């Protein structure tokens, strides 16, 4: 079983749509959770941390379910500029951060 699993997509959605990404992780000792975004031929950039209580940043909402070892990212009112690959990242307290393979999103006019 992969340490961090994501649906690879691609997700092709129209502008204004709501899209949700899911991620599962295998290490129950994981303590930190993040979503990153990576544009084509660029480095990954931190989008948001994910907390057990859930957190929201504008159009983006992240949720964590520790019991199910599941993380989600919801994007509302999607924009063309949201087109990218979204990476689920899970870390432990010894700075060991593991990445999922990413979910590719294309937002179309």
Partner 1 sequence: ETGVTQTPRHLVMGMTNKKSLKCEQHLGHNAMYWYKQSAKKPLELMFVYSLEERVENNSVPSRFSPECPNSSHLFLHLHTLQPEDSALYLCASSQDWRDGAFFGQGTRLTVV
Instruction: Please name the residue that has the structure tokens 């700075």.
Output: 95
Rg, C-alpha atoms of the chain? 13
Q: Can residue 66 be called a binding residue for partner 1 (CB under 8 A)?
A: no
Q: Which stretch binds partner 1 (CB under 8 A): 16-24, 44-52, 67-75, 76-84?
A: 44-52
How far out from the chain centre does Cα 84 lie? 11
Closest alpha carbon to 81 in 49, 32, 47, 31 = 47
Q: Can residue 97 be called a binding residue for partner 1 (CB under 8 A)?
A: yes
| Residue placing its CB nearer to partner 1 in the complex, 33 or 82 | 33
Of 100, 103, 105, 107, which one interacts with partner 1 (CB under 8 A)? 100
Coil, strand, or helix at residue 82? helix
Binding region for partner 1 (CB under 8 A) = 4, 31-32, 34, 36, 42-46, 49, 87, 89, 91-102
């Amino acid at each position: 079983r992969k340490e961090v699993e994501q649906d690879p997509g691609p997700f092709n959605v129209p502008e204004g749509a709501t899209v949700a990404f899911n991620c599962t992780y295998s290490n129950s000792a994981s303590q930190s959770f993040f979503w990153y975004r990576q544009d084509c031929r660029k480095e990954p950039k931190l989008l948001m941390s994910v907390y057990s209580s859930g957190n929201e940043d504008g159009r983006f909402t992240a949720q964590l379910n520790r019991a199910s070892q599941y993380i989600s990212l919801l994007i509302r009112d999607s924009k063309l500029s949201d087109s990218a690959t979204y990476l689920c990242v899970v870390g432990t307290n010894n700075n060991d951060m593991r990445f999922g393979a990413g979910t590719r999103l294309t937002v179309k006019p």
